[in-house]
Amino acid sequence: MIRSTIKGIGYHVPAQVVTNQDLTELMDTSDEWIKTRSGIEERHWVQGDEAASDLAFPAAKMSIENAGITPKEIDLVVVATISSDYFFPGVSSQLQDMLGLRNVGCFDIRAACSGFVYALSTADQFIRSGMYNTALVIGAEAQSKFINKTTEGRDISVLFGDGAGAVILQRSQDETGILSTHLHSEGKDLKNLWMEGPGSSGSNQINKLTIEQAQTYEPYMNGREVFKNAIVRFPEVIQEALDKNNLSIDDVSLIIPHQANLRIIQSVAKRMGVEQNKFYANIQRYGNTTAASIPIALCEAVDEGKIKAGDNIILAAFGAGYTWASAAIRW
């Protein structure tokens, strides 16, 4: 059976570390308030002209080197991001040039916090179909460029960090690799987690007035509703991956969830009756890096020896849309 296997991994975060204490100088908040509500202690933010592509590029280079391939071997680039350098074109096209790739297919996916699993699933299907042999899949975000760093915006701004994570997928016919992926969406509650503008709808079109009244250009989150949905969808999509591959939770060495909030991760583990240490968490150090959170966590879990050859792992995500997704992988 043809599968795609993760052959290389890499990640990169900006040099600037922003602690909870640093945020008290920008807004009315406290280290205790942030840690109690999210588990976050610090995050990395871009500086000056740094953008999503500046994070994606070193992460991509690391994954290529880790895979032991050359850039010319890459057939496809899929980037998950909602904070691209430009409104268009996407970060993937920038990377084609920055990495010196052939004129290969490149596109971005906008599925917010579920974006990396969506991108991984998409690249996996291209490889399984026989169309491509090697794909570069990246989650990259510079979300700090879009948040309101004042007391008015603190419910959102304390949560988000910047970073990028990347994997190299290659065609394989052995027993390792991506076993299955599962993608879902339900749009009826999309306004609970969204950024209304700029867009093509009504008053969200860019003009002088909307720029002066730019509240719609900031993310909005109904935290209570997002929490309620996340702790339901995470277990569902994890169980879906288990059932598809005839696995029990005991067959899984590690679950890597999107790092949205430590309370969500803890609640999902409790809801599933699973020990907390089966769920990997690094949100304390990075905050919510949106589409980058899962690949960054994957890299750190491997570096820490928590994932070994032959292990079954599950990636699980929930985000704006709402979207939710999972991937079962044999390492």
Pair 318, 225: CB distance under 8 Å: no
Helix axes 52-67, 91-98, angle to 10 degrees: 50
Burial of 150 (0-12, 13-18, 19+ CB in 10 A): exposed
| 118: preceding bond cis by omega (within 30 degrees) | no
Q: Which of 12, 44, 182, 258 is catalytic?
A: 258
Q: In the chain, count of helices (H) and strands (E)?
A: 11, 13
Pair 325, 230: CB distance under 8 Å: no
Q: What Rg, from alpha-carbon coordinates, does the chain have?
A: 19
Please state, in angstroms and rounded to a whole number, the distance separating the CA atoms of residues 323 and 231.
13
288 flagged as catalytic: yes
Pair 41, 19: CB distance under 8 Å: yes
Strand 42-44 with 163-172, pairing: unpaired
258 flagged as catalytic: yes
Strand 17-19 with 42-44, pairing: antiparallel
Burial of 245 (0-12, 13-18, 19+ CB in 10 A): middle
State the SS3 of 156-195: HHCCECCEEEEEEEEEECCCCEEEEEEEEECHHHHHHEEC
Q: Which of 20, 288, 299, 312 is catalytic?
A: 288
Classified as helix, coil or strand, 258 is coil
Please state, in angstroms and rounded to a whole number, the distance separating the CA atoms of residues 241 and 87.
34
Q: Which of 12, 44, 106, 113 is catalytic?
A: 113
Active site residues: 113, 258, 288
